[in-house]
Amino acid sequence: MGDQTFLELRQVASTYGATQVLKGIDLTVEKGEFVALLGSSGCGKTTLLRLLAGFVAPSQGTVQVAGRDISRLPPDRRGMALMFQSYALWPHMTVAQNIGYGLKLRKLPSAEIGAKVEAVQSLLGLHGLGQRKPSALSGGQRQRVALARALVIDPEILLLDEPLSNLDARIRLTVRHELRALQQRLGITAIHVTHDREEAMVMADRIVILNGGQIAQQGRPEEVYNNPASSFVAAFMGAENLLTLQAEVEERRVRFASFPGHRTLTMPVPAHRLASGMIEARFRPEAAQLFEAGSDLPEDGGQVFDGRVLSVSYPGGHWRHVIRLGDKEVMADAPRAFAPGSDVVLRVANENFFAFNPAA
Ligand SMILES: Nc1ncnc2c1ncn2[C@@H]1O[C@H](COP(=O)(O)OP(=O)(O)OP(=O)(O)O)[C@@H](O)[C@H]1O
C-alpha cells in the first residue's frame, strides 16, 4: 500500500458512554478502492462509517485523507457523501430537487445546480424522471436517486450504509453490478457497510471483517474466503459446520484423538499458529463430498468420517443433507440425494478443513 494510501485510520476508538464500540482500528484504503466492512449486527460497522463521515468523533486515534488529519473537520468539509439504507428522500420534493438539495445548501448558482443534476441523472439512467415525486418511483429508481444525491456533490469518498438492503432480491443483484461499475468508472473511493457476505464478495476489492469493534481479518475476497484467520471469520464466511476435536500438533502434522467415525487421524499443519489441545474444525456444506457407505474413496487424503443421513432438501442446484457425525450434526451438499437413514461417508479436502484453537 504505502504511497497509494488515500484514507488512513490510525488506532481509532469510539465509545458511547461507558461502552467501547470501536477498539483501535488501523485501516488504510487506496484511492479508487472499494472496501466492504462486513460483520454481524452490533459489531460497530455503522459507527465506523459515521465516524468517517464526521457524525461521531473518535475518542482516540486519527482519520487522515491524502495525508491531512480530518478527525475534527465537520461532515460537510470532508469531501465525503453518505448513502443510507433508508434513502431518506424528501417526499414533497421532486427527483431533481432531491438530487440538487446538497448543492443548494452549498449555495451554488441555480444554473450550475441544474446542469449538475441533469448530468448525474443521465449518468444513473434517471433521465426524464426529474419532475416526479419519489412516491411515483420504483424502489430501484428511488435507490438511484439517493445515489445521485450522494454523487452530485463530487465526493472523493462514497460511504454506503447497507444501501441495497431495502431492495427486493432480484433488483439488488442488478444494482450491485451497476453500483460497482459506476464506482470503477468514476474512480471514486468507496466504503460499503454490509452484513451480506455475498454482496461484499462480489462488489469489493477488499473485505474488512469486524468483530466486537476490532478488525478480525482483511484481504481480497478470495483470500478471506479460502484462508480465514480464525474460527469466527471461517464461520462468517460460510464454514458453519463445526466439529470440536482434540489434537496433538506435531512438527508437520496435526494428529487428532479419535472422534466417533473419524477415519483420518492426521492432517498437515496449517499455515497459521495452532496449539495442541482443543481444536475447532470448520468446513462449508459445499466443501463436503458424500459417498455411499462401503464405496471406494479417492486416494488423495482429506478428512473422512462415517455418518448417517438425517434429512435431505433441495434448495436448488444441489441436494442439501443434514448428516450425523458422532454426536454432531453437519450439513453437506451433493449433486444427488442420499436417502434419510442411509449410512454415508463424508470427505472434506484438507485445504477446506479449517482448524483453529478456540478463541480465548
Ligand atoms: N447512540 C448510541 N448510544 C449508545 N450505544 C450505541 C449508539 N449507537 C450504537 N450503539 C451501540 O454500539 C454498538 C455498535 O453499533 P453499530 O450501529 O455501529 O453496529 P453495526 O455493526 O452497524 O450493527 P447493525 O448491522 O445492526 O447496524 C452496538 O452495540 C450498539 O448498540
CA–centroid distance, 48 to ligand 1, in Å, is 10
Angle at 224 between CA 196 and CA 219, to 5 degrees: 100
Q: Are 306 and 314 in contact (CB under 8 A)?
A: no
CA distances from 172 to 5, 19, 198, 203 (A): 31, 34, 12, 12
Instruction: Give the residues across from 189 on adjacent strands.
Output: 157
321 grid coordinates: 443433507
CA–centroid distance, 84 to ligand 1, in Å, is 15
The number of domains in the chain is 2
Within 6 A (CB) of ligand 1 lie 16, 19, 21, 39, 41-47, 195
CA–centroid distance, 46 to ligand 1, in Å, is 7
Instruction: Give the pairing of strands 354-356 and 214-219.
Output: unpaired
pLDDT recorded at residue 1: 45
Answer with the residue of higher pLDDT: 154 or 87: 154
pLDDT recorded at residue 100: 94
Instruction: Give the pairing of strands 328-334 and 60-65.
Output: unpaired
Q: Is the pLDDT of residue 119 over 50?
A: yes
Same domain, 186 and 268: no
Same domain, 207 and 181: yes
Q: Within 10 Å of residue 64's Cβ, how many Cβ atoms?
A: 16
pLDDT recorded at residue 87: 66
Same domain, 48 and 127: yes
For residue 44, give the ligand 1 atom closest to its CA.
18
Instruction: Give the pairing of strands 328-334 and 189-194.
Output: unpaired
Same domain, 251 and 351: yes
Mutate to test the pocket of ligand 1, among 20, 47, 162 (most ligand atoms within 8 A of CB): 47
**How much of the chain, in percent, has pLDDT values that exceed 90?**
70
Answering whether pTM is above 0.80, one says: yes
pLDDT recorded at residue 141: 85
pLDDT in tens, 38-82: 998 889 999 999 999 999 999 999 999 999 999 999 998 898 998
The full length of the chain comes to 360
Instruction: Give the C-alpha separation, 213 to 20, whole Å.
Output: 8
Backbone dihedral angles phi then psi of residue 99, each to the nearest 5 degrees: -65, -40
Q: Is the pLDDT of residue 26 over 90?
A: yes
pLDDT in tens, 146-180: 889 988 988 999 999 988 877 777 778 888 888 89
Same domain, 100 and 214: yes
Q: Within 10 Å of residue 16's Cβ, how many Cβ atoms?
A: 10
* H/E run at residue 160: strand 157-161
Nearest CA among 227, 349, 355 for reference residue 288: 349
Instruction: Give the C-alpha separation, 303 to 126, whole Å.
Output: 54
Same domain, 49 and 195: yes
CA–centroid distance, 42 to ligand 1, in Å, is 5
pLDDT recorded at residue 71: 92
Angle at 164 between CA 161 and CA 170, to 5 degrees: 165
Among 196, 213, 231, the domain boundary falls at 231
Same domain, 261 and 337: yes
Residue 3 pLDDT level (bands cut at 50, 70, 90): low
Instruction: Give the C-alpha separation, 239 to 269, whole Å.
Output: 19
* Residue 264 neighbours by CB under 8 Å, 6+ apart: 256, 301, 302, 303, 304
Three-state DSSP at 91 gives coil
* H/E run at residue 350: none
Among 179, 198, 231, the domain boundary falls at 231
Answer with the residue of higher pLDDT: 1 or 130: 130
pLDDT recorded at residue 34: 97
For residue 16, give the ligand 1 atom closest to its CA.
4
Please give the mean pLDDT across all residues of the chain.
Answer: 91
pLDDT in tens, 190-241: 999 998 999 999 999 999 999 999 999 999 999 999 999 999 999 999 999 9
CA–centroid distance, 185 to ligand 1, in Å, is 33
10 grid coordinates: 490510525
Least confident of 86-90, 94-98, 117-121, 345-349: 86-90
In sign, the C-alpha dihedral spanning 148, 150, 153, 159 is negative
Same domain, 32 and 161: yes
**Containing structural domain, residue 197:** 2-231
Instruction: Give the C-alpha separation, 96 to 114, whole Å.
Output: 8
Answer with the residue of higher pLDDT: 284 or 151: 284
Same domain, 249 and 347: yes
Instruction: Give the pairing of strands 189-194 and 157-161.
Output: parallel
Instruction: Give the C-alpha separation, 106 to 153, whole Å.
Output: 9
Same domain, 38 and 71: yes
For residues 95-102, average pLDDT:
93
Same domain, 198 and 268: no
